Each structure stands twice: as C-alpha cells, then as structure tokens.
Chain A
Amino acid sequence: MSTASHSKAAVAFIKDEPRTDWHDETLWFVREKRDKAAHGVAEWEQLREWASQIKEHTLSNLDKYLTAFEEKAIANGITVHWAADGKEHNEIILEIIRKNSIQRIVKSKSMLTEECGLNEYLHGKGIEVVDTDLGERIVQFRDEPPSHIVLPAIHLKKEDVSETFHRHLGTEKGNNDPQYLTEAARQHLRSKFIESDLAITGVNFAVAETGGFVVCTNEGNADMGAHAAAVHIACMGFEKMIPKAEHLSVYLRLLARSATGQPITTYSSHFHKPRKGQQVHVVIVDNGRSKQLGRPDFRNSLKCIRCAACFNTCPVYRRSGGHSYHTAVAGPIGSILTPNIDMKANADLPFASTLCGSCSNVCPVKIDIHQQLWKWRQVIAAEGYVSAGKKTGMKGMAFVLSRPALYRFSGKAARWFMQVFPFLFRSKKMNPWYRQREMPKPPAQSFRDWYKKNKTA
C-alpha cells in the first residue's frame, strides 16, 4: 500500500459531501453523549488517572499477572492457550473446532479476531462463522470490514441496512423501519444461537486475581452465544489484564460512558468457570504486543480499552470514515497501534491527523495518542517509509530555513513570483492548496523589511 492511501480513500469518502456531513454529525452526536455522561461523574478526571495508573502498573508487571491469571483460570476449569501471533490464534481455534466436530459457530464482537483475520481463515477451511453483533452481522452480509470498533456499521444508513437485509434475510424491499429491520435480525440470530455448537467471544477485562473475565455488550449476544453453545472460546490480547476484580469499578464506569455515553454497558458479564458439561477456552494473544511493550514511546498504547472515544472525537475520522484506515482498528488509536504490526503498510496512518490533541483528552486511560502519532512520524521517516519527494522537499525546506539570508531571499522571491506570476500558483493539480482555497495575498514587504526601514536607526 502506498503512503498516500488514507488520503486517497478520504477523497473518495468526501466526494459525497451530504453523506460525509451525516457521518460526521452522527459520530459527533456520540461524542456529545460522552461529554454529557462524563459531566455526570464528579470524579471523572480522577477516574481517568486511576485507570491510567492501574494499566501502567499492570503493563509493568504483565508477566506476573498473566501467569497468575492462567493459574487461577486453570484451577477454575478453564483451558488456557497462548498464541504468539494471529496465525497461531487461528490455528488454536481451528484445532478446538476439529477436536469437537463443531459445525455451527457464533461469534460476538472481538476486534482481536478481526485483527487476526479469523473469519477469513476459517472460511478458507470451509468453516463459517456467524457474527452476532447486529452491526457486525450487517457488515458481514455485505462482505465489508467493520468501520468502527464499537459501532461496526456506523458508515451505513438504515436504507443500506434495509437493502442488505432484503438481499440476505428476505425482508420487504424498501422497508426502512429500524424496528422492523432489527426484529428481522433478532429472529435470524435467535436460530443461530440455538443451533450453535461453539460461541466465540472477545474479552474486555481479564482479572488476574480471580482467573475470570468480563465481556461487555449492549445486545447480550455474547451471553446468548456462551449460554447456548457447548464450547466457549474467549479471545484476548494480553493487554486486557487487570490485577483485581475491584479495578473493574474504575473501568466499567469509564468504558461505556466514553464509548456511547451510557452509564454502563447493558450486559457486563463475568465468566469464571465452565458450567456442567461445557468447555471454556481462553486464547491469550501476543501478535506484536510484546514488541510494542518494548517500545518506550509507544508502550502505553497498550492501555487501550477499545472504547473508541478517540474515533468519535477525531475530526479526521469523522470525515474520512473507518475504511480509509485500511486496518482492523481504525481511528487515532489504530494509527498508533498498527505501525507496530506492519510499519510499511500503515506508514500513512500517523499522518492522517492534524495533531489537534482531542483524542488524548477523551481517552479514558490517558494515552498520549497525538504525541505518539508525532513520534511514529519520526520513526516512519527514519525507517524510510516516507516518499522520496516529501523527504527531499523537507530537506530543501530545512536547508533554506536554517540560513537566514537564504530564507529572506527565498521569501522575497516567492512573494515576487506570487505577485507577478499568480497563475503559476493556480494549478489545482500541482498546488493542492489552490484546489479549494485561494492563496494568501503576498504583501510588498516582509515584517523584517518594514522593521529595518522603520525601527532601526
């Protein structure tokens, strides 16, 4: 992928300006709901600080907490698997499927399985997975990736959903009534839950102290799956760890408020041990996380609890859509997580930001997202993943700007050219500034010229 891919995808997205406005306003509405919810908690900033510090501590003692979790989980009757990367993660799941002769699989939302490409992998083996989160089911029907980690189908309008359901579920053509469409999905998914042999879920928090884990959903679909199927596999990145159950009181208060402005997710389900006759597996995945942990500038990106508040507040995300980020986790947080996994393919993402800093301010675990975007830019440039043209331009600019006389000469020359040959700058092809903006009007003299003439004797 070329380094210009985000910007190119953004151009395509913005072409439909009314739809871009709709996308922007929809997500801004979520951001405003988040603000209102946060204002309702007097100790909000204190909670963020605690959440950040608990994760800081956990990341610094991760080996200890992971093994403590494993020990407890095994004692509770849970089978624990370790996967070094996405490939191993997928293979572990395939093995469980084969061993248990599983035919029907339901999966609630798990960004990790998106990151590992689990659905495509199993599809390649002739095994189909039904995504049970409503938004995920919609994009799955459409053969699209989610465009948002909390609101996977936020890029779609109810008309799009109606069309999709008409094609896949046989709903009435042109019936855009959300209740009608949701009911159709509900009936469709009910039968999938009842028939399933295996439920795959994500993990929001894994508690070292208890060996249990918490899964948060608004639709109860993780529970429906896990309660109906004989086998439950919960997949987690190793950073989901928290030391104690009491720490949930910090994170559960922050998570849903940051994500959607709700006081808490509708279902915050605690799984501790298999019920009689059930198997519970936890797959703990690294997939580049230990590498990120070893990068001092970027390690605290692993504090992320996947609330997507940074997506909703990001003025660039709202106007370019999740798919323009071409990664499982989009938005500002995706832009600091994904260069770690594949720097070349994701070299464009840290540049898809104005560095406005709003992301860092909404982050419930206080990740310095915009600072990390800046730092990734340095790493990416140093590793040579910035276009040669840009590099040469920057070198030239630095050369001029570090030489006062040359700077003054160049400035004067540029202003003179702009005055005498304004058409030179009026190429919408060559000058991206001019495409939709007028050039500034060059004054006859610089401030320095004026100052020298009028203020120095």
Chain B
Amino acid sequence: MKTGLFIPCYIDQFYPGVARATMELLEKSGCKVVYPLNQTCCGQPMANSGFAAFSKGCDKNFVQNFSGVDYIVAPSGSCVLHIKEHLQDADEQKATYIKQHIYELTEFLTDILKIEKLDADFPHKVGLHISCHGQRGLNLSSMSELMEPSFSKPERLLGMVNGLQLAKPKRSDECCGFGGTFCLFEEAVSVKMGKDRVREHAANEVEYITAADTSCLMHLEGILKRQGSHIKTIHIAEILNSSKA
C-alpha cells in the first residue's frame, strides 16, 4: 500500500518530531511510505482568510506531489479537511482521487489499517483535546451537540497504549481558539479560549495534553509556557509511536 506522507508546512518547519512519529507509525503498520519532497502547504491559511482565490498555486503543487499514491495521510485533521473540501485542479480526476483518499492519521489507522493493537507505552496522565476540524469536519469522534452514539477514533487508539491514563476535560469538545489566522486577528478571544481549555486540563492534573492537530497544540503550548505550567503538549502520533524507554 503506497502511502503518501503529507506533512503540513508548520509541522515540517517547527514540529519535525511529529512528522517522524507519523512516518514511523505508518511504517510499523506495514505501509510503504513515500514523502514527496516538493510539498509545501494545503492552502488553508489563505482560504480561511477569505483568499481561496490565492491558494490555486498550493493546489497545483499539492496535486503534483500527491498524484500516484494509493493513500495520503497527514497528522492534521484541519489540513486534511481543507484538501477534502477545497482542493481544485485542472485535472479533475486527479483532484477527486486525492480528495477521496486523503486521511487524517487516526482515521487512517482506524478505518483503513484497522489497527486493533499497538506496541506503545506511555505511562502518563494525558488530557485529550478534541480538535474541531477533525471532529466536526472529518467525524473522528461523536459530537456533544448531536444526539448520536458515542465513539472516538483517537480515544480508541489511546486506549491501546500501555500505561496511559486518559483524562477528559469538563467541556469535552470545546474549541481551543487557535482558528488559523483567527489566533492573530482575534488574539484576545483566541487566547482566552485557550486559557480556558488549559484550565480544565490542569484541573484534571494531567502531565500532557494531546490532540490529533498540531496547530491546536502549538497554541496551547504557547499559553502553557507563558504561564510557566509543567503540563506539556504532545501530538497523538508521538504517543502512539512511543516505546518502552
């Protein structure tokens, strides 16, 4: 199974460890992972700011990089959702194939690889932050607003990790306030939302906050560090890929 590894731009530049964990996890699970070297960004920052018209170059580059693989997997629900909803190309067939075969990591592990057990150890108390685009956009877990049976792909995977103690915040799926360029243009609300998330996790006395989206974690990490908190952030791929020290 030829799997194209899509590493969103800010993960590539600032969180290479998340990318490595994702790659190793996929390889361990039997995927033939290819990493197209000329990939950049999904185009979401422009599109969410109202300038989807400017993201055509990103679209073209994305299609050039990711045509010809069976699946595309990324450790970011938000970027995956953007591609799924908005990717356009002159070659419609190629764009459609990509949109139908791109997966967020926990979704891919659950629905395509059908992972039932993991050889992972992470003996820590961990708070799970549910990222909105993964949840409400990609349906990675049930949503508190809808009257539907409860399920969670990330939680199910975390349940396979030895020693991990999961703690959920009081408001199970409230947004952290990152929101792309929202975090700059609506800085006050963005930070207040983040502080409120952090407070609920701190009340659970967690050691780590994890999520399936690095962008939420980057925002929460910035707040935690400014507060001088001992709570660390860690991407779910890093936990699922962790082994006995």
Measured CB to CB, the residues of A under 8 A from B are 4, 6-7, 10-11, 14, 17, 20-21, 24, 28, 35, 38-39, 41, 44-45, 313, 315-316, 319-320, 351-358, 360-362, 374, 377-378, 380-382, 386, 390-391, 394-395, 397-399, 401-404, 407, 411, 414-415, 432-433, 435-443, 445-452, 455
Q: How far is the CA of A356 from the CA of B145 in the complex (A)?
A: 12
Nearest residue in B to A454 (C-beta to C-beta)? B20
Q: List 29 A-B contacts (CB under 8 A).
A: A7-B185, A10-B188, A14-B188, A21-B196, A38-B147, A44-B147, A315-B174, A319-B189, A319-B192, A351-B49, A354-B175, A354-B190, A357-B137, A362-B145, A374-B47, A374-B48, A382-B53, A394-B51, A395-B51, A397-B46, A432-B185, A437-B219, A437-B225, A438-B226, A441-B14, A443-B15, A448-B35, A448-B37, A451-B19
- Most chain B CB within 10 A, of A7, A41, A447, is at A447
Whether A35 contacts B144 in the complex (CB less than 8 A), given A14-B192, A24-B196, A440-B14, comes out as: yes
Q: How far is the CA of A329 from the CA of B10 in the complex (A)?
A: 37
Expressed in whole angstroms, the minimum distance between the Cβ of A173 and any Cβ of chain B is 34
Q: Does B120 contact A (CB under 8 A)?
A: no
Expressed in whole angstroms, the minimum distance between the Cβ of B41 and any Cβ of chain A is 4
Asked if A433 and B184 sit within 8 Å, CB to CB, the answer is: yes
Within 8 A of A (CB), among B144-182: 144-148, 171, 173-175, 177-180, 182
Lowest 5 CB-CB distances: which A-B pairs, in order?
A402-B57, A437-B222, A354-B179, A381-B50, A361-B145
Asked if A354 and B40 sit within 8 Å, CB to CB, the answer is: no
Q: How far is the CA of A358 from the CA of B55 in the complex (A)?
A: 26
Expressed in whole angstroms, the minimum distance between the Cβ of B10 and any Cβ of chain A is 8
Across-interface contacts of A353 in B (CB, < 8 A) = 179, 182
Across-interface contacts of A407 in B (CB, < 8 A) = 9, 40-41
Please pick, from B11, B23, B186, the residue contacting A316 in the complex, using a CB distance under 8 A: B186
Asked if A355 and B145 sit within 8 Å, CB to CB, the answer is: no
Given contact pairs A351-B50, A411-B12, A448-B7, a sample of 12 additional A-B residue pairs in the complex whose CB atoms are under 8 Å apart: A7-B185, A7-B189, A378-B51, A381-B51, A404-B38, A404-B39, A411-B9, A415-B13, A440-B15, A443-B16, A447-B19, A448-B12
- Most chain A CB within 10 A, of B9, B13, B51, is at B13
Across-interface contacts of B35 in A (CB, < 8 A) = 448, 451, 455
Asked if B187 and A45 sit within 8 Å, CB to CB, the answer is: no
Within 8 A of A (CB), among B194-242: 194, 196, 218-219, 221-223, 225-226
**Taking chain A's interface residues, is the majority helix, strand, or loop, or is none over half, making it mixed?**
helix
Across-interface contacts of A20 in B (CB, < 8 A) = 192
Nearest residue in A to B49 (C-beta to C-beta)? A394
Across-interface contacts of B16 in A (CB, < 8 A) = 443, 445-447, 449-450
Across-interface contacts of B171 in A (CB, < 8 A) = 28
Nearest residue in B to A408 (C-beta to C-beta)? B40
**Taking chain B's interface residues, is the majority helix, strand, or loop, or is none over half, making it mixed?**
helix
Asked if B192 and A354 sit within 8 Å, CB to CB, the answer is: no
Nearest residue in B to A444 (C-beta to C-beta)? B16
Whether A386 contacts B223 in the complex (CB less than 8 A), given A10-B188, A353-B182, A455-B35, comes out as: no
- Most chain B CB within 10 A, of A4, A382, A437, A450, is at A437
Asked if A432 and B50 sit within 8 Å, CB to CB, the answer is: no
Nearest residue in B to A383 (C-beta to C-beta)? B50
Across-interface contacts of A358 in B (CB, < 8 A) = 132, 136, 143, 145, 173-175
Q: Does B140 contact A (CB under 8 A)?
A: no
Whether A436 contacts B223 in the complex (CB less than 8 A), given A10-B189, A351-B182, comes out as: yes
Q: Does B61 contact A (CB under 8 A)?
A: yes
Nearest residue in B to A363 (C-beta to C-beta)? B145
Whether A411 contacts B50 in the complex (CB less than 8 A), given A351-B182, A356-B132, comes out as: no
Whether A354 contacts B132 in the complex (CB less than 8 A), given A10-B188, A440-B14, comes out as: yes
Across-interface contacts of B41 in A (CB, < 8 A) = 401, 407
Nearest residue in A to B132 (C-beta to C-beta)? A356
Nearest residue in A to B228 (C-beta to C-beta)? A438
Asked if A433 and B145 sit within 8 Å, CB to CB, the answer is: no
Count of A-B residue pairs with CB < 8 Å: 218
Within 8 A of A (CB), among B1-51: 7, 9, 11-17, 19-20, 23, 35, 37-41, 43, 45-51
- Most chain B CB within 10 A, of A6, A24, A28, A394, is at A394
Asked if B145 and A447 sit within 8 Å, CB to CB, the answer is: no
Q: How far is the CA of A38 from the CA of B145 in the complex (A)?
A: 9
Across-interface contacts of B19 in A (CB, < 8 A) = 447, 451
Across-interface contacts of A378 in B (CB, < 8 A) = 47, 50-53
Q: Does B191 contact A (CB under 8 A)?
A: yes
Q: How far is the CA of A442 from the CA of B39 in the complex (A)?
A: 20
Across-interface contacts of A433 in B (CB, < 8 A) = 183-184, 187, 222
Q: How far is the CA of A7 from the CA of B14 in the complex (A)?
A: 28
Q: Does B118 contact A (CB under 8 A)?
A: no
Q: Does B60 contact A (CB under 8 A)?
A: yes
Asked if B182 and A436 sit within 8 Å, CB to CB, the answer is: no
Whether A398 contacts B55 in the complex (CB less than 8 A), given A315-B177, A407-B9, A440-B14, comes out as: yes
Q: Does B58 contact A (CB under 8 A)?
A: yes
Whether A437 contacts B185 in the complex (CB less than 8 A), given A354-B179, A414-B13, comes out as: no
Asked if B48 and A437 sit within 8 Å, CB to CB, the answer is: no
Please pick, from B61, B173, B222, B225, the residue contacting A404 in the complex, using a CB distance under 8 A: B61
Across-interface contacts of A395 in B (CB, < 8 A) = 51, 54
Across-interface contacts of A447 in B (CB, < 8 A) = 7, 11-12, 16, 19-20
Asked if A352 and B186 sit within 8 Å, CB to CB, the answer is: yes
Q: How far is the CA of A39 from the CA of B219 in the complex (A)?
A: 33
Nearest residue in A to B56 (C-beta to C-beta)? A402
Q: How far is the CA of A377 from the CA of B86 in the complex (A)?
A: 14
Please pick, from A10, A17, A446, the residue contacting B186 in the complex, using a CB distance under 8 A: A10
Asked if B186 and A381 sit within 8 Å, CB to CB, the answer is: no
Q: How far is the CA of A362 from the CA of B223 in the complex (A)?
A: 29
Expressed in whole angstroms, the minimum distance between the Cβ of A443 and any Cβ of chain B is 6
Expressed in whole angstroms, the minimum distance between the Cβ of B242 and any Cβ of chain A is 18
Q: Does B69 contact A (CB under 8 A)?
A: no
Nearest residue in A to B199 (C-beta to C-beta)? A21
Q: How far is the CA of A391 from the CA of B185 in the complex (A)?
A: 13
Q: How far is the CA of A178 from the CA of B138 in the complex (A)?
A: 45
Asked if A11 and B188 sit within 8 Å, CB to CB, the answer is: yes
